[in-house]
Amino acid sequence: MLRLRPALAVLAVLAAGPSSTARAEEPPAQAPDAGQPSPSTLERAGEHFGRYVPVKPADPAACTTSTECANRLGYGEVCVDGRCQEYVDSTDIFTMLHMSKAGHITPEPFVLYPSIVPAVGYNPALGFLIGVTAFLNMYLGDPETTTISSAQPVFLYTSLNQIVIQLVTTLMTADNSWELQGDYRFLIYNQDTYGLGTGPTPVSGGFTLGGYGQTAAVPGAQPMNWNLLRFHQSVLKKVIGPLYLGGLFRFDRYYVVDDLDLNLSASPPVVTSHYAYSRYYSFNSNQYNVSSIGAEVLYDSRDSTVNPYRGVYADFWFKGNATWLGSSQNATQVYTEFRTYIGLDDAIPRNVLAFWFIGQGVTSGNVPYMALPAIGWDARGRTGRGYIAGRWRGTGMLYFESELRFRITDDGFLGGVVFANASTFTRPAVSITGYSDPGEHFFQFIRPAGGVGLRFMMNRTSRTNVTVDFSFSQTGFGLYLGAGEAF
């Protein structure tokens, strides 16, 4: 009733006319209650306003099912006790050893989440090995708006007298404003090579070479020793949403390269694929560099750089190898990569179907033999599980992989994977005195592989797993031990 009085007072002033000097024109005096609402009218109005109750906005975290959380906040959010929260496994190695508390955990910025694994095992490319590998993970901003960053240092010594020192990084600054990707290596290494392409190579049956005559057949592995110094860095700035633009620098120096099977003084001479390629394209067969700069476009909507449950990763770069930067020869190369992660169970976000594609190649000029695209020589060395690293190599590469990831135990400590991959490579045509070869094109030969694996949760906050993969292919069987997902 009090709220009606000001309005009625205004009406009374308006009804009073312009001024008190025109009293002759004033309307007749009214009774005190004239024009006032009747008590019954005010009572009815009060009853009407009294029954109004403001509607509170819905709580975005309230839920009844995990599907509601996934639809509202994204796959990976689950309903726990009527509230949406990020899915976190209840058990990892640290909780089993009573080194951390059980129960739900909330990630914090600038807190290190390490997973350090003593490396004692076997790898088809390295033999028996000993050393240490780790995942060092941290949020460099608010975890609500910043994807976790990862750094993976590796220190290994193998039964093949190899020394591997490597650091692979993906750093996401606050609010994912910048993405910095790095791959740094120092290798004292030896590895078998098998020529170019995914089919039979020219040296496998011998060939006629002007000045040497018929060469000896080299049908299988061609062992090589070399050292590698690598510095790869991409710097990418977010421009809109998960789209990034930036540039890259790549430097690889291969030196003390030794073709162990090469013997030009033998009868017939033994000519290896590496030596033949290097001579044909005028590279020094003992050392060479690749130094380049390029432009890069990246779309990265993954919810984790360590073990994604959702999102898309699409990368494209074009780079030029320049002699003025230190390259042995001028050349250009292109690279594209696509990964996607499809959730299969809103209540168990670890159940994911993931796909991976890589396409890369030389677009102009020539690239040294060991710097050509090859299986197992991606940043984390995970392509081509089932084949020894370097088993397939060429001037162009297409690679496809799919992997089913799933939780086995309810506490999340044990998980599993089933994977399959396929590779195809190109080999350039060759024409020299007394010999010609038409080369090899994509899909002329396809090399499939597959396998199964187990995942042991090492750090549930960063989703880092210890991995054991059993693989099979057209060339045999492989066992891979490591940390972190393949892609």
pLDDT surpasses 60 at 57: no
Cα-based angle 269, 274, 277 (whole degrees, multiple of 5): 95
Of the candidates 219, 193, 211, the one whose C-alpha atom is nearest the C-alpha of residue 269 is 211
Q: Residue range 24-44: average pLDDT? A: 47
Cα-based angle 328, 212, 226 (whole degrees, multiple of 5): 35
Instruction: Tell me whether residue 206 is exposed, middle or buried, using C-beta atoms within 10 angstroms of its C-beta: 0 to 12, 13 to 18, 19 or more.
Output: middle
Beta carbons within 8 Å of 367's beta carbon, 6+ residues apart: 290, 321, 329, 331, 333, 395
What are the strands, taking DSSP E only, across 16-103?
A: 77-80, 83-86
Q: Residue range 203-222: average pLDDT? A: 69
Q: Where is average pLDDT lowest: 109-123, 162-176, 364-378? A: 109-123
Which token pair is 8? 């009625």
Residue owning tokens 């650091």: 167
Q: Residue range 116-141: average pLDDT? A: 84
Amino acid 28: pLDDT: 45
Q: How many CA atoms lie within 13 A of 418 on its CB side?
A: 6
Give the rounded percent of residues in the chain with a pLDDT score beyond 90.
69
pLDDT surpasses 50 at 14: no
Which token pair is 1? 């009733």
By the 8 A CB rule, do 324 and 295 touch? no
Amino acid 47: pLDDT: 53
Of the candidates 297, 300, 299, 305, the one whose C-alpha atom is nearest the C-alpha of residue 143 is 305
Instruction: Give tens-digit pLDDT for 431-474.
Output: 887 778 899 999 999 999 999 999 999 999 999 999 999 999 99
CA–CA gap between residue 63 and residue 61 (Å, rounded): 6
pLDDT surpasses 60 at 16: no
Amino acid 97: pLDDT: 87
CA–CA gap between residue 13 and residue 399 (Å, rounded): 85
Per-domain residue ranges of the chain: 40-86, 99-483
Amino acid 214: pLDDT: 66
CA–CA gap between residue 405 and residue 304 (Å, rounded): 15
Q: Residue range 330-359: average pLDDT? A: 98
Q: How many CA atoms lie within 13 A of 470 on its CB side?
A: 4
Give pTM, 2 decimals: 0.84
CA–CA gap between residue 277 and residue 196 (Å, rounded): 9
pLDDT surpasses 80 at 125: no
CA–CA gap between residue 405 and residue 289 (Å, rounded): 39
CA–CA gap between residue 329 and residue 315 (Å, rounded): 26
Which token pair is 202? 């020219």
Other C-beta atoms lying within 10 Å of the C-beta of residue 186 = 14
For 307, which DSSP code? S
Name the CATH topology of 99-483: Porin (2.40.160)
Q: How confident is the model at residue 481 (pLDDT cuts 50, 70, 90)?
A: confident
For 411, which DSSP code? T
By the 8 A CB rule, do 169 and 208 touch? no
Beta carbons within 8 Å of 91's beta carbon, 6+ residues apart: 102, 409, 411, 412, 413, 457, 460
Rounded (10°) CA dihedral 208, 213, 218, 222: -110
Q: How confident is the model at residue 213 (pLDDT cuts 50, 70, 90)?
A: low
Q: How confident is the model at residue 38 (pLDDT cuts 50, 70, 90)?
A: low
pLDDT surpasses 90 at 63: yes
Question: How high does pLDDT run on average in the chain?
Answer: 87
